[in-house]
Structure 1
Amino acid sequence: MQLSSALFFASLAATLVAAAEKPTVYLIRHGEKPEDDDVTGLSMEGEQRAQCLRDVFGASSQYNIGYILAQTPKDNGKRSRPYLTVKPLADDLGLTVDTSCDRDDAKCVKDAVKDYDGEGNILICWQHGELSSLAEKLGADDVDDYPSDSYDLIWTQPYPYKEITSVTSENCPGLDN
């Protein structure tokens, strides 16, 4: 009987350690866009945000980012803002931005999160209108839409991804209040 209790507790401890090692997901919106919607890329403010994220999520931050996911850019430059927003950070961290998931493919994002087995947490940068769909596909219920007039919010969705546990600001100087 004592041996089976010891095995039970060892198994329970291993399960808890495995759960503790699952990454937290951070969801952010791409940087600011130019006034002219027909222009691709980031505005000057968006470029500033991309540079600020190097400090916000960088190696000396509390976020411990080990994997970055941004929606697939189109060949004509459309939908490139998420990638452009996180590329400087990825370069600093020595990471490649995974752009294998289309903007409207929340299942692909869920699979990428599930399949990630590296060290560190996950940063997802996406078009704001799809962020709630991503959070819900990961497992959260009734997620509010990302506000269309905000570019600075960080949604924190820890394992087992059942809820957004906090919403904070990137606090980029000169961009966020």
Structure 2
Amino acid sequence: MADRLVMIIRHAEKPVPEQPERDVDELGQADEKSLTVRGWQRAGALAHLFVDPPPPLQVPVAIVASAPIKKDGSGTRSLRPTQTVAPLARRLQFVPDTTFSKGQEEQAGRAIILQNLSPVLVCWQHEAIPRLSAAVVASAAIAPTVWDDADYDSIWLLTFSEADLRWAFQSENQHLLAGGRP
């Protein structure tokens, strides 16, 4: 196996109770499972970022996003992860892999590794990203165990080194929108 890179982002902005911004679909229609206008701005900016990324980021060869619903019909119904990567997927002419949903992090992590593709961009719901990261690297000791509720700016990088035969964690900032994390 050559060096591998899995880049993980949280879906873009959603409404929060103390702010008046509403969630809308890509046509601007109210939709409680969609991104906010700021979230759509981030989705577009992410497309630009990942088409010509600065190191250590790389142009993904595959995109994985959590599906709104599981095959059994359960799930969060949130469209936000797929909406977040939709502009990038269109630009790269990819169809995002939405095989797994929130709650299926073990299966998703195993599938990401078994696909043997690199680099891969993953967009997931933030509460479950630590579980997904642990599943990818087969250890809970590599990445943080919590993704901050207010953090839309981080990119978690999981890198497997063929030379060292181990995984490493690094966090980068997107630096995409004004008012984001420093």
TM-score by length of 1: 0.78
CA contact (8 A) 1:28 1:154 kept: yes
2:26 alignment partner in structure 1? none
CA contact (8 A) 1:42 1:84 kept: yes
Q: Which has the higher mean CA deviation after the structures are superposed, 29-38 or 92-101?
A: 29-38
CA deviation map 1:30-73 (0-9, x unaligned): 00002469811000110000001011111x22412011111111
Tell me which of 56, 64, 68 is aligned to 1:69.
Answer: 64
Tell me which of 16, 28, 45 is aligned to 2:38.
Answer: 45
Deviation at 1:115, TM superposition (A): 2.3
CA contact (8 A) 1:45 1:175 kept: no
- The answer as to 2:115 corresponding to 1:122 is no
Deviation at 1:107, TM superposition (A): 2.0
1:31 alignment partner in structure 2? 12
1:148 alignment partner in structure 2? 149
RMSD: 2.3
| Separation of aligned partners in 2, 1:78 and 1:110 | 21
| Separation of aligned partners in 2, 1:152 and 1:34 | 16
CA contact (8 A) 1:49 1:175 kept: no
CA contact (8 A) 1:68 1:95 kept: yes
What does residue range 1-177 of structure 1 map to in structure 2 within 5 Å? 18-20=1-3, 23-35=4-16, 39-58=32-51, 60-62=52-54, 63-74=58-69, 78-118=77-117, 120-139=118-137, 140-142=139-141, 143-159=144-160, 162-164=167-169, 166-176=170-180, 177=182
Structure 1 residue ranges without an equivalent (≥5): 1-17
| Separation of aligned partners in 2, 1:125 and 1:100 | 13
| Separation of aligned partners in 1, 2:79 and 2:135 | 22
Q: Secondary structure at the match of 1:24?
A: strand
| Separation of aligned partners in 1, 2:106 and 2:174 | 27
Structure 2 residue ranges without an equivalent (≥5): 18-22, 24-30
